[in-house]
């Protein structure tokens, strides 16, 4: 079985955003001082790298070519993450707010793909996306907990 062009495009968009999230988490981890938040963010870097490998393997399994890197929009978001803390007093809280915003956007993307009637997914792909989406939801919950501790 091969993916349709629409599925391939959606999964490649997701892969590109996964690369962006990995880079964003790395930047965020470099910026925070709280050792627990830093560890959480570094764990998310590793998680997103693993997500990227899983998505690439899944795309290639169905005879398609995966994307190679992140997006321009992701680059702009990382620049904003660098500049925004300079404007406020608590860098960690603001970074965690940006993490939550990014995770909410990721959840929407995953849910859109999973619920779309236009992109019928093979069972293996659907399971992978559900697993990754649920891990993102868990990360969002943890991020919110840390954000409350820093507010």
Mean pLDDT of successive 10-residue stretches along the chain, which has 151 residues: 77 90 89 92 96 93 74 52 52 86 92 86 94 96 90 77
C-beta separation of 77 from 101 below 8 A: no
What's the pLDDT score for residue 87? Answer: 44
What's the pLDDT score for residue 7? Answer: 84
C-beta separation of 24 from 74 below 8 A: yes
C-beta separation of 104 from 140 below 8 A: yes
What's the pLDDT score for residue 63? Answer: 79
Q: Provide the whole-model pTM.
A: 0.83
Domains of the chain: 5-149 (1.20.1260.10)
CA distances from 30 to 9, 37, 143 (A): 32, 11, 16
User: Within a 10 A sphere around the Cβ of 43, how many other Cβ atoms?
Assistant: 14
């Amino acid at each position: 079985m091969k993916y349709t062009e629409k599925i391939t495009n959606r999964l490649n968009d997701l892969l590109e955003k996964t690369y962006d999230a990995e880079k964003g988490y790395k930047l965020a981890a470099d910026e925070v001082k709280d050792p627990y938040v830093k560890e959480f963010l570094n764990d998310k870097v590793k998680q997103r790298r693993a997500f990227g490998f899983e998505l690439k393997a899944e795309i290639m399994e169905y005879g398609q070519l995966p994307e190679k890197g992140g997006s321009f929009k992701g680059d702009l978001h990382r620049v904003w993450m660098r500049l925004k803390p300079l404007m406020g007093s608590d860098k960690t809280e603001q970074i965690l707010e940006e993490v939550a915003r990014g995770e909410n956007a990721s959840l929407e993307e995953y849910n859109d793909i999973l619920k779309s009637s236009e992109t019928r997914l093979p069972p293996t792909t659907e399971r992978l996306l559900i697993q990754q989406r649920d891990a993102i939801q868990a990360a969002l919950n943890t991020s919110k907990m840390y954000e409350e501790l820093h507010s």
